[in-house]
Structure 1
Amino acid sequence: MQLGRQLLDRQIVDRDGRLVGKVDDVEFGIDTDGVPYVRAVLSGQVALGQRMGGRIGRFLVAVADWFVDSSPAAPMRIPYPLVERVDSAVRLRVRLDELPGSPVEDWLRRHLIDRIPGSDRAGG
């Protein structure tokens, strides 16, 4: 399969051109006829750690688990129908704020970023 070259490690960009992350893994499904298809692209250190495996992969997942309120941490999962096209990046049909949040980023925002004076006025 050429899927690795087509999707993995490409930047994910929302419809406004804002960086969402990068494709760290891919989730497959099987339709009623038994044909595999791409169900979602996965982003974040949990997805990367699971894809890498070994000690480094387990370490990445363990660190992500430390930064969430309820373990285990999960990767950001972007359903494939939200993908507009794939070229030099994976371009989405939706804006960043319409996507499911990353549990690790949500935890960091609540427990670290939001406590920084003036963080509510930061550009985004």
Structure 2
Amino acid sequence: MRIQLVQHLLDRQMVDSTGRPVGKVDDVEFAVGEDGAAYVHTLLSGPGVLGARVGGRVGRMLVLAAERFVTDRPMAPVRIPFRLVERVDSAVWLRVRAEDLPGSPVEEWLRRHLIERIPGAGRASG
């Protein structure tokens, strides 16, 4: 699948196989094939990745704000192998369900420390 990276991937919403939004593509990781051609190997998502891409003072603020919610620093990005991409149009559609993807460290912290403490949160549909 040939695509223009900035126009078709970066900042696109990723959607799981059930139509659930799972994050945005903040950066990509390349690999080099046996033929010497570079290709997109992994989609990266998360505030740490976005902050590094944005750079400067704003990028550092994004990273610092997100790292307040995690214990492991530097914060690891969510890494999604490009082979899990079904198609790319106005969104990046994945072949798998959100539950089968690695979790976001920030979302996990918010779920444990905030959402689970809300009365009735365990009965919420999702």
Secondary structure of the corresponding residue to residue 50 of structure 2: helix
Indicate if the aligned counterparts of 1:69 and 1:107 stay in contact, CA closer than 8 A: no
Q: Supply the distance in 1 between the matched residues of 2:82 and 2:55 (Cα, whole angstroms).
A: 24
Q: Which runs of 5+ in 2 are unaligned?
A: none
Task: Report what 1:109 is aligned to.
Answer: 111
State how many pairs are aligned.
Answer: 124
Structure 1: any 5+ residue segments left out of the alignment?
none
CA distance in 2, matches of 1:75, 1:4: 19
Pairs within 5 Å for 1:1-124: 2-124=4-126
Contact preservation (8 Å) 1:42, 1:78: yes
Identity of aligned residues (%): 65
TM-score by length of 1: 0.93
Q: For residues 51 and 118 of structure 2, what CA distance do their matches in structure 1 show? A: 29
Kept in 2, the 8 Å contact 1:40–1:77? The answer is yes
Q: Secondary structure at the match of 1:59?
A: helix
Contact 1:82–1:92 (Cα < 8 Å) also in 2? yes
